[in-house]
Amino acid sequence: MLMTQTRSAPVAAITEPSSVSVRDLRLSFGSVSVLSDLNLEIREGEFLVLLGPSGCGKSTLLNCIAGLLDISDGQIFIKGKNVTWEEPKDRGIGMVFQSYALYPQMTVKGNLSFGLKNAGLPRDEIERRIAQAAEILQIGPLLERRPAQLSGGQRQRVAIGRALVRDVDVFLFDEPLSNLDAKLRSELRVEIKRLHQRLANTMIYVTHDQIEALTLADRIAVMKNGVIQQLDAPQVIYNRPVNRYVAGFLGSPGMNFTDGEIALRDGAAFFTAPGMAVPLHKYRASKGTLQPGPAVFGMRPEHVALNAGADWPFSAQGPCEIVEPMGSDSLIWTQIGGQSFSVRVTSERAPQLGDIVSVGFDPINASIFDAASGERL
């Protein structure tokens, strides 16, 4: 319907080859703005993860890309073609859903072939594609079963298969592993990664699980309130979060935050808080030099050493208040300058409750944020 108009949008704006490109996307329901001025370029063959808490707009963005939600403004390009007004089926995408969304009354084979039949493909081509997908996902023996007869893991494989048979360039995953238990989740995670390496097509993957994001992604886009906070490689996002929100959202156990301020002593920058003065000459400031003012000092628990001697750039002593065993590691909670602080150590080295422990860290690993804006300094 009305294909002629939708095709007439300009295609010339593309400069470098992007697989999926979202420009100035705006989406509002009535007066409620959900996404605003969102821009995103996804490279050919890239595995991009949209990460954020529920309600941050990540699934909404994915639905916009899929064409399942009509956007209010902006443009979406897939493979250089403006698909802003295209139907989902015409966008060259396959999609995998959290609840699997398998058609309950059809067999696995029926589920896989439904889209192809709608597209009017010849029967032998449908057969060929189903056989191929079944081989890749090892669901051959399940083809004649119905979804109700499958386990959760099998269902999600079939759901992936349904995207696979469409033979498209872009795969969209909407929290595909969230309904599975922990063990299956890690198995399928590996499988999706393997699939990506084998097919090398573009994948956009929505999740709230940071482990999935960190393990799968080429790049992660951390979202909050409909805005992409940071878009970068997993290691960069983990080690150099652009703001306090990203720093707190990634990492488990979470980063330690200490309120205090940046002070200059004899021209050298320090982070100071009651009972604490951390020299910052090794800290790589993101914008020039550090200016004095209120700040939040962030340090991941695994970057803190226990029984640290005076040779550490910073060390302090505090009581061991809580020990949280987590298997191979334990998390030790202590206090520095009246603010609680956690340290991650291997379980054999965990102190006893009530021991006085000395902790030390190197500010090179720190992330310092402006107290007011939360931006990285």
Partner 1 sequence: MNPQISSNPATLATTVAGMDAVADRVRPGVEAGPRGSRRRSALSTRNVVIYGVLSVVAIYYLIPLYVMVVTSLKGMPEIRLGNIFAPPMEITFEPWAKAWASACTGLNCDGLSRGFWNSVRITVPSTILSILIASINGYALANWRFKGGELFFTILIVGAFIPYQVMIYPIVIILREMGIYGTLTGLTIVHTIFGMPILTLLFRNYFASVPEELFKAARVDGAGFWGIYWKIMLPMSLPIFVVALILQVTGIWNDFLFGVVYTRPDTYPMTVQLNNIVNSVQGVKEYNVNMAATILTGLVPLVIYFVSGKLFVRGIAAGAVKG
Partner 2 sequence: MTSTTLSTTRPKRPSQLFRNLSAKLASIPMILTALVIFLGGTVWTVVYSFTSSRLLPRLRWAGLEQYERLWATPRWLVSIENLLVYGVLSLIFSFVIGFVLAALMDQKIRFESAFRTIFLYPFALSFVVTGLVWQWLLNPEFGVQNIVREMGWTSFTFDPLYDQSIVIYGILIASLWQGTGLVMCLMLAGLRGIDEDIWKAARVDGIPMWKTYLFIVIPMMRPVFITTLVIVASGIVRVYDLVVAQTSGGPGTASEVPAKYVYDYMFQAQNLGQGFAASTVMLLTVAIVVVPWAYLEFGRRKRV
Instruction: Give the footprint of partner 2 on this chain (CB under 8 A).
Output: 1-2, 5-6, 26, 28, 33, 36-37, 70, 73, 85, 225-227
CB nearer to partner 2: give 57 or 351.
57
Query: Which DSSP string corresponds to 225-239?
Result: TTEEEEEE-HHHHHH
Stretch that binds partner 1, among 62-70, 148-156, 304-312, 327-335 (CB under 8 A): 62-70
- CB of residue 98 to partner 2, shortest distance in Å: 24
Taking alpha carbons only, the member of 60, 10, 69, 70 closest to residue 40 is 60
And the tokens for 188?
A: 């399928």
Cα atoms in the Cβ-side hemisphere of radius 13 Å centred on 348: 0
Taking alpha carbons only, the member of 71, 62, 67, 129 closest to residue 97 is 62
Q: Which does 310 bind (CB under 5 to 8 A by kind): partner 2, partner 1, none?
A: none
Q: Which does 225 bind (CB under 5 to 8 A by kind): partner 1, partner 2, none?
A: partner 2
Residue count, binding to partner 1 (CB under 8 A):
27
Query: Is the Cβ–Cβ distance between 270 and 263 less than 8 Å?
Result: yes
Number of other CB atoms surrounding residue 339 within 10 Å: 17
Q: Is 158 in the site for partner 1 (CB under 8 A)?
A: no
- CB of residue 185 to partner 1, shortest distance in Å: 18
Query: Is the Cβ–Cβ distance between 359 and 334 less than 8 Å?
Result: yes
Stretch that binds partner 1, among 93-101, 122-130, 216-224, 266-274 (CB under 8 A): 93-101
CB nearer to partner 2: give 94 or 226.
226
Q: Is 121 in the site for partner 1 (CB under 8 A)?
A: no
Taking alpha carbons only, the member of 250, 224, 254 closest to residue 236 is 250
- What residues line the site for partner 1 (CB under 8 A)? 63, 66-68, 87-89, 93-95, 97-105, 114-115, 118-119, 159, 162, 166, 174
